[in-house]
Amino acid sequence: MDKQTKKTKNMKRKINIKIWQILDEPNWRFRVIIENGQTKTQHNVSMTKDFYNYLGLKLEAFQIVDSLIRLLIKDNNKLGNCFDIGNKFERKPEIKKKLISKIKSDWGEV
């Protein structure tokens, strides 16, 4: 599979998030680099197709990853080096409402 690169920026917060899709079967896997000022961290993020379908949104998977990362940063949640998006929701079910609201804010009505 060809690597796909998606870049997003938020100039207000000066957070630069770079997302590379590295696998899409059986689940999506992404390499995410977050640059926040002088700090640069790398994370491996996965998302199951079941969880993607559960959200019921008509967005690219990388858009959901981008919004979730921004939400977790905004809420001062620690990001592990490797994590599954669905597991983040299992531990913090209140994030789903926040995520959908954040996605609508970031990407418009979905």
Q: What is 44-89 written as a DSSP string? A: EEEE-HHHHHHHT--S-HHHHHHHHHHHHHHTTPPPPSEEEHHHHH
pLDDT at 93: 67
Could you read off the pLDDT tens digit of each residue along the chain, which spans 110 residues? 444 555 554 445 578 999 999 998 888 999 999 998 888 999 999 998 888 888 888 889 999 899 888 888 887 777 888 888 877 776 666 777 788 888 888 888 66
Q: Domain residues for 21?
A: 4-107
**Residue listed under structure tokens 């949640």:** 77
Residues 6+ apart with CB under 8 A from 78: none
Number of domains in the chain: 1
Task: Give ∠ CA 61-64-68 in degrees, rounded to 5.
Answer: 145
Opening angle at CA 54, ends 92 and 33, nearest 5 = 60
Cis check for the bond before 26: say yes or no (omega within 30 of 0): yes
Report the pLDDT value the prediction gives residue 20, as an integer from 0 to 100.
95
According to the model, what pLDDT value does residue 12 have? Answer: 52
pTM over 0.85, yes/no: no
